[in-house]
Amino acid sequence: MPDAHADQDWRAWFAEHGARLRLIARQWTRSEADADDVVQEAFVRFWKHQRHLPGNPNALVVTSIRRAALDLLRRSDRRSVREKVVGDDMETVTWFEPEADPRLAALADSLKLLPAEQREVVVLKVWGDLTFDEIGEQLSISPNTAASRWRYAMEALRKHITARTHD
């Protein structure tokens, strides 16, 4: 007999964290649909097998998302050799819901301009709520490198947004 309490627990947890996880998944996927698939696969894996493990649950689920996304990318890349699929469509990423606030539009445009390595750190730090140590683990870089990429990204975002809002 299914446990109704456990069913509610996962629904509540996913309702709270799902949108953030989708943004994280979008960093490693080529489309919104792929991000949805990756989040679903990673969340099910996390909830069934990893949620009771010690450590930061955010780091565990982000690890699951990254692995699922990279697996999907590998499969897609092999298929693209055969089918000559169109590459990365990062220009169509919607970072925020459309709003009237021009600062959010400036931020969304600025994120697209960052190098992938910096954008990845920003997303993991802001939406993933990970520490630089955890980001370093995720990306196989040192925590100092993660922090440097964060600083460079913040500087670039600040310059671009300031220039855009003063024009």
**Contacts for 49 with CB less than 8 Å, ≥ 6 apart:** none
Distance CA 68, CA 135 (A): 17
Tokens of 120: 């990845």
- How many structural domains compose the chain? 2
Where is the domain boundary, 92, 127, 150? 92
Question: Do 42 and 25 sit in the same domain of this protein?
Answer: yes
Domain match, 82 and 138 both: no
In this predicted structure, the answer to whether residue 117 has a pLDDT above a threshold of 60 is yes
The answer on 88 and 109 residing in a single domain is no
In a domain, residue 3? The reply is no
Confidence of residue 150 (pLDDT cuts 50, 70, 90): very high
| CATH number of the domain enclosing 83 | 1.10.1740
User: pLDDT tens for residues 48-95?
Assistant: 887 788 877 788 888 889 889 888 888 876 666 544 433 444 455 555
Last residue in a domain, options 35, 61, 92: 92
Residue 99's φ and ψ, nearest 5 degrees, are -140, 165
Same domain, 88 and 114: no
Please give the pLDDT value at position 98. Answer: 47
Q: How far is CA 70 from the centre of its chain?
A: 12
> Looking at the structure, do residues 32 and 85 belong to the same domain, yes or no?
yes
Query: What is the C-alpha to C-alpha distance for residues 130 and 93, in angstroms, rounded to an integer?
Result: 22
pLDDT in tens, 6-38: 556 878 888 888 888 898 888 888 888 899 999
Does 133 lie in the same domain as 153? yes
Which range of residues forms the domain containing residue 166? 94-167
Question: Is the alpha carbon torsion for 36, 24, 83, 87 positive or negative?
Answer: positive
pLDDT confidence of residue 132: 94
The pLDDT of residue 30 is 84
Q: Which of 47, 69, 92 is the last residue of a domain?
A: 92
Tokens of 80: 């693209």
